A and B are shown apart, each in its own frame.
Chain A
Amino acid sequence: MSEFVSFKIDGKQCMGRAGEFIAEAAERNNIYIPTLCNYKGTAPKAACRVCTVKVNGRMMTSCSTPLQEGMEIENETAEIQDIRSGIIELLFAEGNHLCPSCEKGGSCELQALGYRFRMMVPRFPYLFPVREIDASHPKLIKDHNRCILCKRCVRVMKDENGHSLFAFYKRGTKLEIAIAPELADKITDEVAQQAMDVCPTGALLKKRKGWDVPVGKRMYDMKPIGSEFEQVK
């Protein structure tokens, strides 16, 4: 068992285990740090940067930074909150997100964060990129318009040999998610459902299924994102 350490988030005294990630430790102290690319049980990739906090005055991502004794963490300062909402706005402006027509609406983590940060209009120009909807796979639709390149699918969805069913091609603004060609058969209905659940947005959708939970009754329609930790306060 690893040793216990004490640390502070916005002045509040907290306890956690040395070496666990700050985001996890915060949750167990009933403090919500927004995360997006992070997926419980999988090694972090710190791609979205939404979980940025200041640790002893330096910006760090809380999903990937191990906890140490005596850390002074800033979480809900005006500066950090502005960076976070800036990032969410970036993600909306970078892709094409038309929430009302999106199957994931209401259970989409990006949308939920948009609400949480009370985003009205992004401060950035919309890029309106021309991106594909790839429905060539028999079980799965890949909508690049909604992909935020969080790499969850690449990190989580693996076959029995540990090979990823998804991959990242190219780099920078050309970066895109691809299905590994020779593993495409392994995506059954069940796996497609898993992939859809793993994806925080509506970029991966299981085919021939839709709207079985009506909009208005979905996860974040009922409770805002993050509230599960905060209600305990």
Chain B
Amino acid sequence: MDILLDILAENGYISDEDITSLAAGLDMSSADVEQTVSFYHFFARKPMAKYNVYLNSSAIAVLKGREKIATAFERESGCSFGKVSEDGMISLDDCADIGMADQEPAALINGIVFPNLTAFRVKELVRDMRKGLSVDELRSHGLGDGMNNSEYMKATVTNNIRKKGAVIFSEYQGGSALEKVKADRMSQEQLIDLVKQSGLRGRGGAGFPTAMKWDFCRKAKGEKKYIFCNADEGEPGTFKDRVILTERPRLIFDGMALAGYAVGAEEGILYVRYEYMYMKEYLESILTEMRKEKALGKDASGIKGFNFDIRIQYGAGAYVCGEESALIESAEGKRGEPRDRPPFPVEKGYLGMPTAVNNVETLCSVAKLVTNGVEWFKSLGTGQSTGTKLLSISGDVKYPGVYEVEWGFSINDILEMSGGDPAAVQAVQVGGPSGSCVGPNEFERIVSYEDIATGGAMMVIGEDHDLLQDVVLNFTEFFIDESCGSCSTCRALTVMYKKTLEKVLSGDGRRKDIDAMLSWAPIGKASRCGLGQTAMNPICTSIKNFRYLYEGHIKNANEQYEGGFDIAKAVADSCEVVGRRPNL
């Protein structure tokens, strides 16, 4: 992976010669290398332009006026999407969500994020590209807040932290969690027990109890063990990990060290999505400092016998790599295809060794709860959902951004907090495309592991948008593009959903098409990973909560015959050949 990323950074694409020489070096066939390369969105195989623009096409980007920006890019550059401009200067492409839902429309240009685009800004950008300015110069005006404007990042991204809570965004003195372990002479078991008492559950979406995962991994047999921090953050509408990476990297790394200590790992790997490449130097600089402080390395943080270091692994554009076993495959330099379980990663993970994978926010919570104590942590939140949760709120609200709140809030609370107008809100997508699309009659539901769980994305969709066309269809297409293609139930079923939804939207659908879509769900649930198992959620949850929108498109009540076939259209070509008009 790293070699390919280096080639990409240097040359802008991966050539046939690169593939052949890499294959020879690794004793693989070139097809083996190609199958990895062709899996990832950003590994271009043709020479690209001097500036490669990837404009986000997620639902939120669409709600925020992506089409206007796309047109502006096409007009200014004189080239269309999927193409390179004639002078070879600019290429335009789509890409999936890039973790900037609070500042859409946004694009990646040569791997660097350019958020909050306006038609005017596009004009400036294209003008500057034509002048041949470097990407650094392109972004030179208007750096973001907080550490975004540090010399290592110089990013135009803003944090948009709207609410600081007690766990993640409160002050943290680097190293204090490890100090505590050392001072209390905590054993591995004691540390795991502490996490267990806190009731902490994974923040990456699945909500698995963290202590249990660590205990499995600790007990599993293996010469070596690994821990991963999952910063792939590919779920459209989620961007909270981006902000943690920017503002609290030390908290993450301390959390990783704690996880490493608990399971007995010597190496931790932070897997970061390609879209956050602009953070690389900055994150590396923090690790370098930690090594200087001896917080990493031999006898890390002064704990005798605890040898631990961290490396950063970047992805190359594949949402499915956020799935823990795909993440591991990807870090091993392969296609990011999820593995079948059992065996689980805690038994056989990275390089076949026991591996614990945790979300960024989970690890930060561990570091804080170790520092401040279990009782303190349990005093936050409700019953089974202890601590705080970071929400990524985007869409039709006044103040999109990151909010850290205690568990146990309703969707109405969220709208109030973020300046959404409950009267003008059509739906809230809780937990990204794989979550559920809920309507106003459910806004009193409580967001928690007990009721509607979430990885943190809250997309607010105003009344003036076409929910089915702009959101539900967009999400379904997202799953089609991001499916690894392994399972027939995910690769093909997602397309059937799209076709049928399009048929309904075109007015050719029948009521039975709507029920058919609901009845297919169990087939998708037979997929290997969460992507295929939840890919029907945008359609199925919106049928459940917004059935009237679907029914509104049904023009023909005759259930006996299939819709979607227009005989006049079907014979049009033959009629033209024989010069007749169909007499239908």
Contacts and interface: CB of A to CB of B under 8 A. Distances in A.
Interface stretch (A89-97, A137-145, A220-228): A89-97
A27 interface: no
Given A171-B318, A172-B483, A180-B30, A82 B488 contact: no
Interface in B231-252: none
B486 A47 contact: yes
B39 A171 contact: yes
B29 A90 contact: no
A181 B39 contact: no
Contact of A87 (B27, B480, B483, B526): B526
Contact of A167 (B31, B488, B493): B31
B210 interface: no
A173 B493 CA distance: 10
Contact of A49 (B32, B39, B318, B487): B487
A132 interface: no
A180 to B, nearest CB: 4
A160 interface: no
A87 B489 contact: yes
B500 A64 contact: no
B582 interface: no
Contacts of B493: 90
B30 A59 contact: no
Contacts of B38: 169-171
Given A91-B488, A93-B496, A167 B35 contact: yes
A4 interface: no
Interface stretch (A5-13, A112-120, A123-131, A188-196): A123-131
B5 interface: no
Nearest to B482: A172
B522 A164 contact: no
A218 to B, nearest CB: 24
Nearest to B16: A181
Interface string A153-179: 000000001011011111111110011
Interface string B5-44: 0000000000000000000000111111011001100000
A173 B485 contact: yes
B32 A163 contact: yes
B430 interface: no
Given A91-B492, A163-B32, A182-B29, A172 B485 contact: yes
Nearest to A166: B31
Nearest to A52: B526
Given A163-B28, A163-B29, A90 B486 contact: no
A31 interface: no
A86 B342 contact: no
Contacts of A149: 485-486, 488, 491
A168 B489 contact: no
A99 interface: no
A163 B35 CA distance: 13
Contacts of B527: 49
A155 B233 CA distance: 31
A199 interface: no
A190 B336 CA distance: 33
B76 interface: no
A182 B30 contact: yes
B526 A127 contact: no
A175 B30 contact: no
**Interface bin, chain A:** 35 or more
A183 B31 contact: yes
Contacts of A171: 38-39, 318, 335, 483-485
A124 B493 CA distance: 9
Contacts of A45: 340, 486
Residue with the greatest number of chain B CB neighbours at <10 A, chosen from A79, A90, A93 = A90
Interface string B513-554: 000100010110111100000000000000000000000000
B483 A48 contact: no
A148 interface: yes
Given A90-B489, A183-B29, A168 B335 contact: yes
Given A79-B522, A127-B499, A169-B35, A46 B29 contact: no
B495 interface: yes
A175 B494 CA distance: 14
B525 A59 contact: yes
B500 A90 contact: no
A61 B522 CA distance: 14
A93 B499 CA distance: 12
Nearest to B337: A171
A191 B230 CA distance: 43
A86 B492 contact: no
B145 interface: no
A91 B492 CA distance: 8
A90 B32 contact: no
Interface centre among B28, B29, B480 (most CB of A within 10 A): B29
A83 B486 contact: no
Contact of B516 (A79, A82, A123, A178): A123
Interface string B488-514: 110111011001100100000000000
B456 to A, nearest CB: 26
B528 A46 contact: yes
A173 B29 contact: no
A156 B296 CA distance: 44
Nearest to B527: A49
A29 interface: no
Interface in B432-483: 480-483
Contact of B35 (A148, A161, A168): A168
19 contacts: A44-B340, A48-B488, A61-B528, A86-B522, A87-B523, A90-B523, A124-B492, A148-B488, A149-B488, A161-B27, A163-B29, A163-B32, A166-B31, A171-B484, A172-B480, A172-B481, A172-B491, A180-B30, A181-B31
Closest CB pairs A-B (n = 4): A180-B31, A167-B31, A175-B485, A94-B492
Interface of B: 27-32, 34-35, 38-39, 318, 335, 340, 342, 480-489, 491-493, 495-496, 499-500, 503, 516, 520, 522-523, 525-528, 564
Given A44-B340, A65-B342, A183-B29, 12 more contacts: A61-B340, A87-B489, A94-B488, A94-B492, A161-B27, A163-B28, A168-B485, A169-B34, A169-B35, A171-B484, A174-B485, A178-B34
